[in-house]
Structure 1
Amino acid sequence: MPSRQSLHFSSQFVISCGTVTIDPTTKKVLLIFNRTSKQHLLPKGRKNTSETLESAAVRETFEETGIRCELLPHAFPHRAPLSPEAEKENGEAGEKPLGTEPIAVQQRNSIGVWKIIFWFIAKADSTIAKVEGTQEAYENYDTIWADANAAPRMMTRQGDKEIVTKAIETVLGVEKSEL
């Protein structure tokens, strides 16, 4: 059976990056509430030219929330091969080392433009005050630290709910049935 394919030239898509940012100490998840659309969302946005996916995810999280985060190494299953250096370090253990690979990629079609979103797991300290004035003029977001057990149910989009659930399970070791 032939594989499904699609072709989109650069004028037909945007690359976005975002995070599920978790404070493992307080078991809270960073969300934004869009006051205009009344939606709970994850922070994300478009990647700039020559910017890495990882840098875009961290930058967009900061810009939309005022919270500084860093990517969190995790053991989420992925299909990325190990680098030769990681293979040497890993030796005969057979387990993949912790990494910061994206945990999901999501596609949305909005007004004829494909949005391809790479989702990363990040960590931040929920007890530190946010930096004010980081949002773009058109962004009308509240920054929310939600309890991990409530965060998936708060999400407006089903895909975001699934991504948050998987991230919480990975970072906090909480099973889906416990959320």
Structure 2
Amino acid sequence: MAVDSLERLDTERIDRSMDFRPADALVMSCGTVTLDLARGLVLLIWNKQQRIHQLPKGRRNIEEPMLSAALRETYEETGIRVTPLRLNIATRATPPKQPNNGRGQKNPDITVGCPSTEFVGACLYPDPQSETEALKTVFYYAATADSTIKPDAGTQEAWEKLEPRWVAIADVASILCFQGEIAAVRKAVDDVKKTGYTIGG
């Protein structure tokens, strides 16, 4: 007789590894890896205060959907309206229910072959801008835009000193400041190619 999977859980190990953090010790941020597919470019921001290149991102508003936050923050920081890309992303999100002829199949750990606008990955690190200890998670979404369109003016907060810059995808590793963001770009580009999009003609 098969043992139910819940009975096989190592609850003691789970308990030892489980960590609780209150909401005020967590920062949820969302951003995009925005590509001009035709020209093989990626949208970055030049942070004039820190003098570094970064991906556009920012904190989610209360009850704001994560993808909406990513698109909004990208627009606010760059003045460029971007469109999410629907990709075949390997994800741990639950796939839509499919008819299974009553066989009761279990959902796989990793969902593949289900085009979506799910995030391509996330960066986790202590928030350097918080006055109190907080763990920051930045969820990145793949998006697209036309690099020849002039950015809208006046979209940034008064204190932000950011300049949008389109750079060649091949140059990202030598331009972006953070290795985690370089990895986010590479993952988005890989997912775009696996889905069948052509980059750079």
Bin of the TM-score, shorter chain as denominator length: 0.7 to 0.9
Q: Does residue 179 of structure 2 align to residue 158 of structure 1?
A: yes
Q: Which residue of 2 aligns with 1:82?
A: 95
Q: Which residue of 2 aligns with 1:41?
A: 54
Provide the C-alpha distance between the structure 2 equivalents of 1:23 and 1:148, rounded to a whole number of angstroms.
Answer: 10
Provide the C-alpha distance between the structure 2 equivalents of 1:43 and 1:156, rounded to a whole number of angstroms.
Answer: 13
Q: Which stretch of the first structure deviates more once superposed, 108-117 or 39-48?
A: 108-117
Decide whether aligned partners of structure 1 residues 158 and 36 sit closer, same or farther in structure 2, where only a CA change above 3 A counts: same
The structure where strand makes up a greater share of residues is 1
Provide the C-alpha distance between the structure 2 equivalents of 1:141 and 1:95, rounded to a whole number of angstroms.
Answer: 36
Q: Which residue of 2 aligns with 1:120?
A: 141
Provide the C-alpha distance between the structure 2 equivalents of 1:41 and 1:122, rounded to a whole number of angstroms.
Answer: 16
Could you tell me which of 79, 84, 102 is aligned with 1:71? 84
Q: Give 3-state SS (helix, strand or coil) of 2:147's partner.
A: coil
Letter in 2 for 1:165: R
Assess if the C-alpha contact under 8 Å between 2:89 and 2:112 holds in 1.
no
Q: Which residue of 2 aligns with 1:108?
A: 125
Q: Does residue 116 of structure 2 align to residue 99 of structure 1?
A: yes
Provide the C-alpha distance between the structure 2 equivalents of 1:22 and 1:11, rounded to a whole number of angstroms.
Answer: 33
Moved over 6 A (4+): none
TM-score between both structures, scaled by the size of structure 1: 0.86
Q: Does residue 14 of structure 2 align to residue 14 of structure 1?
A: no
Provide the C-alpha distance between the structure 2 equivalents of 1:130 and 1:108, rounded to a whole number of angstroms.
Answer: 30
Greater CA radius of gyration, 1 or 2? 2
Structure 2, unaligned runs of 5 or more: 1-9, 100-110, 195-201
TM-score between both structures, scaled by the size of structure 2: 0.77
Assess if the C-alpha contact under 8 Å between 1:24 and 1:171 holds in 2.
no
Provide the C-alpha distance between the structure 2 equivalents of 1:129 and 1:57, rounded to a whole number of angstroms.
Answer: 20
Q: 1:170 Cα deviation (Å)?
A: 2.1
Letter in 1 for 2:135: W
- Corresponding residue pairs, total: 166
Q: Give 3-state SS (helix, strand or coil) of 2:170's partner.
A: coil
Q: Percent identity?
A: 36
Q: Give 3-state SS (helix, strand or coil) of 1:164's partner.
A: helix
Q: Which residue of 2 aligns with 1:50?
A: 63
Render the CA deviation track for 1:22-68: whole Å, top value 9, x for unaligned. Answer: 11111110000101111110000000011100100000000000000
Q: Which residue of 1 aligns with 2:36?
A: 23
Decide whether aligned partners of structure 1 residues 115 and 95 sit closer, same or farther in structure 2, where only a CA change above 3 A counts: closer
Provide the C-alpha distance between the structure 2 equivalents of 1:27 and 1:126, rounded to a whole number of angstroms.
Answer: 10
Could you tell me which of 153, 161, 179 is aligned with 1:132? 153
Q: 1:138 Cα deviation (Å)?
A: 1.1
Letter in 1 for 2:125: R
Structure 1, unaligned runs of 5 or more: 89-93, 174-179
Provide the C-alpha distance between the structure 1 equivalents of 2:154 and 2:34, rounded to a whole number of angstroms.
Answer: 20
Assess if the C-alpha contact under 8 Å between 2:123 and 2:181 holds in 1.
no
Instruction: Provide the aligned C-alpha RMSD in A.
Output: 1.7
Q: 1:152 Cα deviation (Å)?
A: 2.8
Provide the C-alpha distance between the structure 2 equivalents of 1:104 and 1:63, rounded to a whole number of angstroms.
Answer: 21
Provide the C-alpha distance between the structure 2 equivalents of 1:151 and 1:158, rounded to a whole number of angstroms.
Answer: 10
